[in-house]
Amino acid sequence: MRGHDWINTLLPDELLIEIFRRLDSKSNRDASSLVCTRWLRLERLTRAAIRIGASGSPDLLIHLLAARFSNITTVHIDERLSVSIPAHLGRRRSSGNSSVKLHDVNDKHGSASDQSDLDSLCLSDSGLASLAEGFPKLEKLRLIWCSNVTSEGLSSLARKCTSLKSLDLQGCYVGDQGLAAIGQCCKQLEDLNLRFCEGLTDNGLVELALGVGNALKSLGVAACAKITDVSMEVVGSQCRSLETLSLDSEFIHNKGVLAVIKGCPHLKVLKLQCINLTDDTLNVAGTSCLSLELLALYSFQRFTDKGLCAIGNGCKKLKNLTLSDCYFLSDKGLEVIATGCKELTHLEVNGCHNIGTLGLESVGKSCQHLSELALLYCQRIGDAGLVQVGQGCKFLQALQLVDCSSIGDEAMCGIASGCRNLKKLHIRRCYEIGNKGIIAVGEKCKLLTDLSIRFCDRVGDRALIAIAEGCSLHYLNVSGCHLIGDAGVIAIARGCPQLCYLDVSVLQVCILLFFLIPKAM
């Protein structure tokens, strides 16, 4: 019956809220909220997360959002992101004799050159206090490069948001007092990121560790010059439920890391970029971290095969391994990892110049569950290594090759023959790979949806035609492949109707392409 609103008449608030929660996209939720004032009010109750960029005035914006969305549990504020302000919010709002104006960060003609105006573009302690007041149910907060936030704001947040479980302070110049307040008030805190928090010292981290204790499960510290082994030892003794540790520091040594490794038996993720660590750390990890699933070693000058062998012999649950710029690691260490860690699914070797073909052959022979492989700047790995991966790693879904000068068509043919589940293939500046290898991929890897062959100057139209005939691509990047012309790109346009991303930069292709793609898509 026209003119009768049966939905609003018959359905209670609880049922409408549940329907809104099940909508599959933000655009659908936004559209639903415009139906009527009741739907607008109820849809707002379903919003659990908000994301704020470098808006004209984040303090005022938080106040406005808090008045509209009462059930927010996740807030992400990133002052690196430029977000334009809606026109109706940019107008001057007045109440009595006071007025507040939202400034647009893109306005070059305003008075933003003034320091006071610049400060108004950043989240302040007052804004953080408003956030705490407006979102008392807050569980997850990310403050990325909010440089005006200090310990005072963090303390006010801690007192109000006692259910906080995750806190990211990357680039915030907060001090020890604020971090101590978090430890005293937020007893459920599980995840803490302190990257580039230059104002912190051991005192703040010690107070936090003493406060949250076993609740803390993840800790990240980077570029904090005053956080040393002292606080790491307290973390090791107080936070025994810690599962993830990420360290990037010149001031943390074996002593601090060993304290965490020995004191936290549930450690699953270990990411280390500390130039003062030695094999002693990995030797103890191999015997103490039996639950370790992810290990990432970055820019180490002092680790050798001895330490990596300890991991391979002890950490049987290891699934994800990243080795970046580890110059003293060789095929021997990778072989022990491959034979000892048979559950390995993700492997990245980046700039480890002493790891070559033999090491990768060991992975191909032993790691049957490997699903992602990245080889970057590996000049000593040749075709035979990838051929063995093709023979042994049938579940490989993603392969990335960057500046691997010894890998050519034979390797790609081997991957194509054995890895029929391949979905993502990214190749950059591998000059020995040509049409033959990519044609083999097109003929045999029918599940491939993501292909990037940047600056592979031996790949031409014949390869793209084979890809178009055999694969349904969603993503294609052929930037810098000078042998690719109109014929190859037109074949892709006709053969891949689901293509949603195409990069043909640094190519000379006919403008006919722009008429073909809309018809194909």
What does 144-209 look like in DSSP terms, one character per residue? ES-TT--HHHHHHHHHH-TT--EEE-TT----HHHHHHHHHH-TT--EEEEET-TT-BHHHHHHHH
In a domain, 19, yes or no: yes
Angle at 88 between CA 138 and CA 86, to 5 degrees: 60
Question: Which structural domain, as residue segments, surrounds residue 24?
Answer: 10-47
The answer to whether the beta carbons of residues 171 and 195 sit under 8 Å apart is yes
CA distance 268 to 423: 28
472-475 contact pairs (CB < 8 A, 24+) = 472/496, 472/497, 472/498, 473/448, 473/449, 473/498, 473/499, 474/449, 474/450, 474/498, 474/499, 474/500, 474/501, 475/449, 475/450, 475/451, 475/499, 475/500, 475/501
Ramachandran angles phi, psi of 322, nearest 5°: -120, 125
Three-state SS for 478?
Answer: coil
Q: Which residues contact 329 (CB under 8 A, 6 or more apart)?
A: 303, 304, 305, 308, 323, 352, 354, 355
In a domain, 31, yes or no: yes
Angle at 408 between CA 404 and CA 411, to 5 degrees: 100
What's the Rg (C-alpha) of the chain? 27
CA distance 503 to 460: 15
pLDDT of 508 reads: 65
pLDDT of 3 reads: 67
In a domain, 374, yes or no: no
Q: Which residues pair with 502 in a beta bridge?
A: 476
In a domain, 503, yes or no: no
SS3 content of the chain, % helix, strand, coil (to 5): 40, 20, 40
pLDDT of 5 reads: 80
CA distance 231 to 233: 5
Count: domains in the chain? 1
CA distance 232 to 229: 5
CA distance 479 to 476: 9
Q: Which residues contact 10 (CB under 8 A, 6 or more apart)?
A: none
Six-digit token string for 274: 């500390």
Q: Which amino acid is at 382?
A: G
pLDDT of 225 reads: 95
* pLDDT tens per residue, range 138-191: 999 999 999 889 999 999 999 999 999 999 999 999 999 999 999 999 999 999
CA distance 344 to 15: 45
pLDDT of 114 reads: 47
Six-digit token string for 235: 């973390």
The answer to whether the beta carbons of residues 410 and 385 sit under 8 Å apart is no
Backbone CA torsion sign across 21, 22, 28, 33: negative
In a domain, 398, yes or no: no
Instruction: Find how far residue 500's CA is from the centre of its chain.
Output: 22
In a domain, 29, yes or no: yes
Please identify every stretch of the chain with a pLDDT value under 50, giving residue numbers as ranges.
Answer: 83-115, 118, 511-512, 514-515, 519-521
Q: Which residues contact 2 (CB under 8 A, 6 or more apart)?
A: none
For residue 310, which of 328, 287, 332 has the smallest C-alpha distance?
A: 287
In a domain, 16, yes or no: yes
pLDDT of 56 reads: 55
In a domain, 224, yes or no: no
Q: Which amino acid is at 37?
A: T
pLDDT of 60 reads: 78
CA distance 131 to 108: 29
Residue recorded with tokens 């807050």: 138
Q: What is the CATH number of the domain that holds 21?
A: 1.20.1280.50
